[in-house]
Amino acid sequence: MLFGASTFIWVSPFSSANVGLLTKVKSMGYDIIEIAVEDTNIIDWKLIKDTASDLDLKITISGAFGAERDISSTEPHFRELGKQYIIDCIKIAENVGSPIFGGPVYSAVGKTRLVSDEQKKQERAWCVETLIEIAKIAADSGIVVGLEPLNRFETDMVNTVDQALSIVHEVASPNLKIVLDTFHSNIEEKDIPASIRKVGKELLCHVQGNESDRGTPGTGHLEWQGIKEALEDIGYDGAIVIETFGQPSKELAKAACIWRPLANSADELASEGLDFYKKMFS
Contact 124, 79 (CB under 8 A): no
Contacts of 144 (CB under 8 A, 6+ apart): 99, 100, 101, 138, 174, 175, 176, 177, 205
Mean pLDDT on 89-113:
98
Mean pLDDT on 207-231:
97
- What pLDDT does residue 123 have? 98
- What pLDDT does residue 247 have? 78
- What pLDDT does residue 246 have? 81
Residue 235 has pLDDT above 80, yes or no: yes
**CATH top-level class of 2-281:** alpha beta
pLDDT tens track for 40-60: 999 999 999 999 999 999 999
The domain spans of the chain are: 2-281
Catalytic residues: 148, 243
Tell me the C-alpha distance between 3 and 127, whole Å: 31
